[in-house]
Amino acid sequence: MRGGRAPLCLLLALQLCPPQVPARSQQCPSGTYTEDGECCASCPPGFGVAVPCGRTNTQCEPCAENRTFSAVSSALEPCRPCTPCAPSQPLAQPCTATHDTLCAPRCARGHYRPPAGNGTGPGRPCQPCRLCHEGYGAIRPCAPTQDAECQPCPQGFYSEERSAEAPCLPCQPSCGPGEVMIRACSRLSNTLCMEKDLQILKRAEGDPQKEPWQRQPVPGASAAPTASAASSEFMLPPPEDTGKDIIPVYCSILAAVVVGLLAYVAFKCWHTCRQKQQLAKARAGELGTAPEGEKLHSDSGVFLDTHSLQEPHQHGKAPRPEGRPYGALPPQRQEEVERLLETGGPGGDWRSLAARLGYGDEAIGTFARGQAPARTLLAAWAATEGATLEALCLALAAVGRQDVAERLAGPGDASSVV
């Protein structure tokens, strides 16, 4: 009997005296404590935790406007960075110290949001809409959830702008009764009309054509007017006549400009042909040494001072060695040699050959400014003393271009020359 009363007494004691909960858990809103048992303070909204609660109490700091925010009261959460909106998504509410950025659910104008792959969910990021070019219209304009769809403008419609929304517009069917059609309607432009009776071309009916200086009689004047009366008879034309007579003046000026341009072009062609003839004579060895200051140019378009370019070869006045001149080489063989020198090779390019032939850095820089520097180099060298095929082959062999020397001499006599 006593064994059955013990549990009943224990149950009655628990109901009358419930267990005590520690007082600090009921009085601390944050639910966290320092190492000394002090309740940790919570940072209010707009403030974040700078130093977490531990050995010391919580230390808070304000969130930066438009950069960080904190929307809750916490003893652990720091300020969080604001969420940026996509460039194609408009801003509904800017970021504050207590609220994050709020982006508009709709895309900006000219953009659309493609749906998700399964047709559910918020969809993918905003995309720019397709632009319909000139001559095309939007049969389905750009919308927040769909891209634009373009088609060519049919007959009788046109489109003059690039747009993701504008459709093809109907053409003007015809011009008015007092107008003349300048340009018919097309896919790219509307019908263009112009008035028939423009003031610049219109002459009033019955209005005789007047001379620029018209002699008008002076009322009350005698048959033999004096010098002063005669001078007063010449009247300036009305302002409208000046506008009518200005068109022939413009035509005369335009004709003079055209004639001047033709004369300039003819002079340049003659001058160019004359210089090319001089260059051809120099290649053939018929021109000899050019006078001081004379300017020659090659087909590359670079003008050369033959006096300055020939200066390295003037020392000593050595006589021309026996052998074929370089100008006697066939044009096809010359072009092949120039091409090999410009493309380069194992030994060097045309610059190495120019230095070997005695040209300085300034002359080489002048050659390089042309479109065909190798042709300019060989044309200038051909006008100098001793410009023979044998001398050129020796220079090519010295710079390591044996392949060019063989092509220069030809397949039959390459070994004998080199």
Residue ranges of the alpha helices (H) in 290-360? 306-309, 311-314, 331-343, 350-356
Task: State mean pLDDT over 141-153.
Answer: 90
Exposed/middle/buried for residue 282 (C-beta within 10 Å: 0-12, 13-18, 19+): buried
Q: What is the pLDDT of residues 258-276, one digit of tens each?
A: 999 999 999 999 988 888 8
Q: How far apart are CA 48 and CA 45, in angstroms?
A: 8
Lowest-confidence region among 188-202, 326-340, 385-399: 188-202
pLDDT at 210 over 60: no
pLDDT: which is higher, 211 or 265? 265
pLDDT band, very low/low/confident/very high, at 407 (cuts 50, 70, 90): confident
CA Rg value for the chain: 48
> Contact at 8 Å (CB) between 139 and 149?
yes
Task: State mean pLDDT over 358-375.
Answer: 87
Lowest-confidence region among 85-94, 320-329, 338-347, 356-365: 320-329
Task: State mean pLDDT over 373-400.
Answer: 88
pLDDT at 150 over 80: yes
Q: How far apart are CA 55 and CA 38, in angstroms?
A: 10
3-state SS class at 150: strand
Helix axes 373-382, 331-343, angle to 10 degrees: 130
3-state SS class at 248: helix
Per CATH, which fold does 107-194 belong to?
Tumor Necrosis Factor Receptor, subunit A; domain 2 (2.10.50)
Intrachain domains 107-194 and 276-417 with the same fold: no
Residue 225, pLDDT score: 42
Residue 5, pLDDT score: 60
Task: State mean pLDDT over 161-174.
Answer: 91
Residue 71, pLDDT score: 92
Nearest to 384 by CA among 297, 316, 295, 311: 311
Residue 289, pLDDT score: 38
Average pLDDT over the chain reads: 75
Residue 208, pLDDT score: 52
How many beta carbons lie within 10 A of that of residue 200, not counting itself?
A: 8
Quick one: what percent of the chain has pLDDT higher than 70? 67
pLDDT band, very low/low/confident/very high, at 365 (cuts 50, 70, 90): confident
Q: How far apart are CA 58 and CA 76, in angstroms?
A: 8
pLDDT at 393 over 70: yes
Task: State mean pLDDT over 89-107.
Answer: 87
Q: What is the pLDDT of residues 20-35, one digit of tens each?
A: 444 444 578 888 888 8
- Please report, for the chain, the start and end positions of each structural domain, with discontinuous segments joined by +: 29-105, 107-194, 276-417
How many beta carbons lie within 10 A of that of residue 114, not counting itself?
A: 13
Per CATH, which fold does 276-417 belong to?
Death Domain, Fas (1.10.533)
Task: State mean pLDDT over 342-368.
Answer: 85
pLDDT at 321 over 80: no
pLDDT: which is higher, 6 or 265? 265
pLDDT at 160 over 60: yes
Cα four-point dihedral sign 150, 152, 156, 162: positive
pLDDT at 253 over 80: yes
> Contact at 8 Å (CB) between 359 and 309?
yes
Residue 282, pLDDT score: 56
pLDDT band, very low/low/confident/very high, at 92 (cuts 50, 70, 90): confident
Residue 243, pLDDT score: 56
Choose the most confident range, by mean pLDDT, from 48-57, 204-213, 401-410.
Answer: 48-57
pLDDT: which is higher, 86 or 393? 393
pLDDT at 254 over 90: yes
Quick one: what percent of the chain has pLDDT higher than 90? 23
pLDDT: which is higher, 407 or 224? 407
Exposed/middle/buried for residue 130 (C-beta within 10 Å: 0-12, 13-18, 19+): middle
3-state SS class at 356: helix
Residue 123, pLDDT score: 59
* Cβ neighbours of residue 349 closer than 8 Å, sequence gap 6 or more: 341, 342, 343
How many beta carbons lie within 10 A of that of residue 393, not counting itself?
A: 21
pLDDT: which is higher, 79 or 209? 79
Q: What is the pLDDT of residues 280-315, one digit of tens each?
A: 665 554 334 333 333 334 444 444 444 444 444 433
pLDDT at 167 over 80: yes
Domain 29-105 superfamily per CATH: Tumor Necrosis Factor Receptor, subunit A, domain 2 (2.10.50.10)
